[in-house]
Amino acid sequence: MVASSVSRRDFIKASAVSVAAVGMTRRMYAAGSDTIRVGLIGCGGQGTRDLVSCVRSSPGVEIVVMGDLFEDRLKESIDKLAKEVPNALKVAPDRRFVGFDAYKKVLATDVQMVLLVAPPHWRAQHFQAAVEADKHVFMEKPGGVDPKGIRSLIQTAEVAGQKGLSVVAGTQRRHSKKYQETIRRIHDGQIGEIVAAQAYWNGGDMLGYWKWWDQGNLSDMEWQCRSWPWFTWTSGDHIVEQHVHNLDVINWALQGHPEQCMGMGGRAVRTLGNIYDHFAVEYEYADGVRVASMCRQINGSTDRIAERVVGTKGAADIDRGVITGEKPFKYEGPDPDHYVQEMADLIQSIREGKPINEGKSVAESTMNAIMGRMSAYTGRALKWDWAMNASKQDLTPPKYDWIGLPVEPVAVPGKTQLI
């Protein structure tokens, strides 16, 4: 399977012809049934959890089609959904698709909304196909694993906006009342001019959360796809797959993306796959604002998962909903489950015909993480404009099939090439 070579101009032009029809569908739907027919692409643990949150977020959600690369993963998901949300599960046997083309079969059905929860490598490809099929989208973070994918994601988000499609990403902190109120106060100037910030995801090794498959008789491709969190081409490394949450909050608070970065990292204890187990990156934003970012997956170490912004008149610990300084504040209001709230916001936008679109924001936050990884892997400082517009890095395998696929060596700063 080869990535599409359609240009941005041709893609937008081709998609625009259906905008009027799609708009009419929106208006007809708003006046009709409140039932939302949902499909899932990527039936692993995260996809299943997201679908449960989706059903619990709003009445009238029906799960009608599912697809995954692996039949056993799809069956496990069906079994769990049958226990968690039995009344919403209406996936007939002929609407359970398996294989590299399962996403196409899901999108060919009459679903109104799809959840894109395959491993991050496939995000841009699946997002483009979903928007071409006129589906509302929930897509998990991150937005991709390389600059090529991020450019595609931004392009597709523009088309989704033209079509009036809603797009929500799995950066669920943006749907937290606590985060929203704290960042509103930052934007209102309650900590003064921002001068610095810090972002952290320092936690334990995720082996207890994500499964590692022994290769055995599996082909290289199947083994790496099943063990996807541990390979750069499938996950983007943990700075991209996980730390993107905190970097997204910093972009949100600073109302922009960094201009350049310099990073470092490595493997102190990790032996699985080819990803690092720790990173430290300094990002520089407009007006010389510097952000210290660090993430780690090592057991037995101090945990810290947080976002902090420092201003001339105070500081905001955003994750805690606390501001100190001249105008102290502590959020004490309701803060519903963020995973459920993001789904509720998406479904409400569909029903009311008031699209929301988080495609560009998750793309830019993902690029934060990707350029941090690229800097750490190579030992080179780099600029946003180069990473976004000039980098030719493309982690796509030669083809999507059960092929031999040698594992790329662990990156070595000073030796690994910046592409």
Question: pLDDT tens digits, residue range 307-364?
Answer: 999 999 999 999 999 999 999 999 999 999 999 999 999 999 999 999 999 999 999 9
| Confidence band for 385, pLDDT divided at 50, 70 and 90 | very high
Distances (CA, A) of 338 to 143, 171, 342, 343, 413: 19, 9, 6, 9, 37
pLDDT for position 199: 98
15 pLDDT exceeds 90?
no
Q: 2: Cβ–Cβ under 8 A, 6 or more apart, which residues?
A: 399
**Mean pLDDT confidence for 15-21:** 42
Type of residue found at 406? P
* 272-293 per-residue burial string, b: 16 or more CB within 10 A, e: under 16: bbbbbbbbbbbbbbeeebebeb
- Domain range list for the chain: 8-173+341-357, 176-334+367-389
| 400, pLDDT greater than 60 | yes
- What's the Cα-to-Cα distance from 69 to each of 98, 199, 210, rounded to whole Å? 5, 34, 17
The Cα 318–Cα 316 span in angstroms is 5
Higher pLDDT, 7 or 399: 399
Sign of CA dihedral 182, 183, 184, 190: positive
| Sign of the dihedral through C-alpha 152, 157, 158, 162 | positive
User: Other C-beta atoms within 10 Å of 32: how many?
Assistant: 8
Q: If you ran DSSP here, which 8-state letter would residue 111 be given?
A: -
Distance between CA atoms of 148 and 158, rounded to whole angstroms?
16
pLDDT at residue number 208:
86
Q: Can the peptide bond before residue 142 be classed as cis, meaning omega within 30 degrees of 0?
A: yes
The CATH superfamily holding the domain 176-334+367-389 is Dihydrodipicolinate Reductase; domain 2 (3.30.360.10)
Q: In 3-state terms, what secondary structure has residue 142? A: coil
Q: Tokens 């955003």 identify what position?
A: 318
Burial (CB count <10 Å: 0-12, 13-18, 19+), residue 156? buried
Does the pLDDT at position 220 exceed 80? Answer: yes
| Three-state DSSP class for residue 128 | helix
pLDDT of residue 30 exceeding 50, the answer is no
- Note whether 361 and 191 are within 8 A (CB): no
Is the predicted pLDDT of residue 5 greater than 90, yes or no? no
Average pLDDT of the residues in 240-252: 98
Residue 35 has pLDDT above 70, yes or no: yes
CA distances from 170 to 33, 79, 140 (A): 27, 24, 4
- pLDDT-derived band at 31, boundaries 50, 70, 90: very low
- 357 DSSP assignment: B
Band (18; pLDDT cuts 50, 70, 90): very low
Is the domain spanning 8-173+341-357 CATH 3.40.50.720? The answer is yes
| Mean pLDDT in residue range 186-197 | 98
Q: Is the pLDDT of residue 58 over 90?
A: yes
Q: Is the pLDDT of residue 14 over 90?
A: no
pLDDT tens for residues 93-145? 999 999 999 999 999 999 999 999 999 999 999 999 999 999 999 999 999 99
Give the total residue count for the chain: 419
Give the pLDDT band (50/70/90) at residue 33: low
Nearest to 279 by CA among 413, 382, 389: 413
The phi, psi pair for 148, rounded to 5°, reads -60, -45
Mean pLDDT taken over the chain = 93
pLDDT at position 162 over 60? yes
Give the tokens for residue 87.
């009344």
- pTM, entire model: 0.93
The pLDDT, as a whole number, for residue 376 is 99
